[in-house]
Structure formats: structure tokens, C-alpha cells
Amino acid sequence: MNVLEKTFNDIRQMKIRGAGRIARAAVKALEEYSLTLNVSSREEFTKSLENAGEYLKSSRPTAVSLPNAINYVISNFKREVLMLENRNTWIETFRRLCEDFIEKSINAIEKIGVIGAKRIRDGDVLLTHCNSEAALSVILSAHRLNKNIKVYCTETRPKFQGLISASMLSKNGVDVTLIVDSAVRYFMNKVDQVIVGADAITANGAIVNKIGTSLIALAAKEARSRFMVAAESYKISPQTFYGDLIIIEERSKYEIVSKDWLSRNKNVRVSNPAFDITPAEYIDAIITEVGIFPPQGILILYKEMYGFQFKDVQG
Ligand code: RUB
């Protein structure tokens, strides 16, 4: 199995998971793959990277960080490679672009922590869902500033990523309580702020995150608790401005029930969407590496950072 197949399988089987980690793993795989390419023309080299990129993009459909990261390194490469004559310089340029993306995306998580921690007050009770590096960065950064915080972690059925968060926070000395997903409303009156990550941010400021997030947002709104999202700017999907929808991944029913149970209950249909959509009106703010934005301002941020140009839509 080559590096592309291994990374594809690891992402699909969720050995590598979480939107940021998926993006970095895919870029690293592309970088390693580029070193193995034995081609003599720029065009062939670029085409091979594009094909490999499309293959990796198809590993999981929802996290926009994955296509955005791949498009970012390949489109920058295509711009730079026009000036380069020999194979070694193409490889070196692509390697630099990949490493640059990986470094920037790790720094972004740090920065989100620094910025987001300012919004957490001493004595705050927080709630987080699933396992998001960006959300945990905010919580841990507040903890390091000696803010006295308590955190509820949902277990996050069916894959229990909440246990990873609870364990990580607790190992870092944070006061953590693990709860089942359906207990969220029961505890919400005690919660000052919910903080979650995102797999995608749409042009109208909605976020796509682990299934159950939108229900938590609903409970937070009812209880007047703040609902904060921590996400790197490369999770914004400009394509949603033109009407494209984020595809919600449907995962195996066997993540929920055993084969044995299903064989005894043949008429029961099982549905297992992995993500849901929280509309902008349920979100107080989106914490990014460059600052805190109201969800409705997200396209302006994207335009400013990535030079997004409105294009003419062809029929
Ligand atoms: C993970 C999940 C995370 C986001 C953000 O889902 O929904 O909240 O990916 O994570 P899964 P991060 O476990 O199915 O990949 O902030 O680490 O990018």
C-alpha cells in the first residue's frame, strides 16, 4: 500500500479524524507522494498531484478543510512552477508549500487559543462536544491563564470522541465532567458558554460539525448560554456562496448497532449521519486565527484573507 492509499484508508476509517488533522495528513501524504514521482515534465508532475489530490478528497466528504488544504497547496504550486525549470526545484517547491501549510495550520490552532481564551471568564462553566483541536485550544489556553473553569464533555455517540476530549482536558488538570449526549439540556442551565469546533463554515455563517451540535445550540439558545465556534479560516467554504451544499457524511449503521442485533431486527432501518448544520442565528461568534467574527461576517473575512473574487456563474 502506498502513502496515498494508507492515508486515504486511515481517514476513511477514522484512524485520522478531526477536520484539521485530516487536512494536514492529506497534505503530508501528497508531499511524500511527490517525492516518489518519476516524471519528466512539469505538466505530468502537476497532473499526478491533481489526481492524487482528488483521490484523497474523496476519503471523507464533509470536512471542507480537506479540499481547501489540497487546493491551496496545488494551486500555489501551479502558480510557482511556471518559473521553474528542473524536476528538483518542482519537488522542493511543492515540499515547501506543504510544510508551510502544515506549520500555518498548527499555528492557527495556537492563535485561536490565545484569542478565544480572552472570552472565557474566571469561574465559567463550559460545554464541548466531540473532539476539536481548535475548541480544546481555547479551553486549555484559558486554563493555562489560571482561569478557574469547569467543562462538561458530551460522550459523542456513536464514536465517543468526547472521551478523547475529557481525557485530554483532565490530563491537563481541567475540572471535567463527562455526560451522555442526551443530558445536554439537563445541564445547560449551569453552562455559561458552549465551545465547539467546525468541519465547515458556510458563506451564510452556518457551521457544520459533529452530529448533535445543532441540538446543543438549540438548548444553549433556550438557556441563554453563549454558543461559540472555534475554527481555522481555511474551513470556510466559498463554494456555498454559489449554492453548493456541504455533503453530510452517512456512516455505517454498524457504528450504532451490531450485525447480530440487526439480523434479529431486519425491518429496522438505521441512519447514521455524522454531522449536522447549525444556522448562524444560533451562533454568538466564530473564533478564528485572525480574530473573532459574527457568523454573518465570515465571507468578508474570507475575501480579505484569500482574495476571494465573486465570479460570473455560467449556466
Ligand atoms: C470531528 C468533529 C470536530 C471538527 C473540528 O468529527 O466534528 O468537531 O472536525 O475538529 P470526526 P478540529 O471525529 O467525525 O472527524 O478543530 O480538530 O479540526
Domain boundary residue among 111, 126, 159? 111
User: For ligand 1, atom 10, which residue shows the shortest CA distance?
Assistant: 132
The reply to whether 291 and 304 lie within a common domain is: yes
Q: Tell which of 80, 111, 142 closes a domain.
A: 111
- pLDDT tens for residues 118-134? 999 999 999 999 999 99
If you measure from the C-alpha of residue 96 to the centroid of ligand 1, how many angstroms do you get, rounded to a whole number? 26
Q: pLDDT (tens digit, 9 = 90+) per residue, 178-222?
A: 999 999 999 999 999 999 999 999 999 999 999 999 999 999 999
Percent of the chain with pLDDT over 70: 100
Do both 102 and 178 map to the same domain? no
Contact 53, 215 (CB under 8 A): no
Is residue 272 within 8 Å of 158, Cβ to Cβ?
Answer: yes
State the pLDDT confidence band at 309, using cuts at 50, 70 and 90: confident
> Both 47 and 59 in a single domain?
yes
- Do 167 and 70 lie in one domain? The reply is no
154 and 208 together in one domain: yes
* Structural domains counted in the chain: 2
Q: 111, 133, 162: which is the final residue of a domain? A: 111
Q: Are residues 100 and 51 in the same domain?
A: yes
CATH number of domain containing 254: 3.40.50.10470
Residue range of the domain that includes 210: 113-312
**CATH number where 91 lies:** 1.20.120.420
Catalytic residues: 130, 199
DSSP one-letter string for 221-268: HHTT-EEEEE--GGGB-GGGGGT--PPPPB--GGGTS-HHHHHH-TT-
E strand or H helix that includes residue 285: strand 285-288
- Spell out which residues line ligand 1, taking CB within 6 angstroms: 17-20, 63, 130, 132-134, 161, 197-199, 209-210, 274
- pTM exceeds 0.85, yes or no: yes
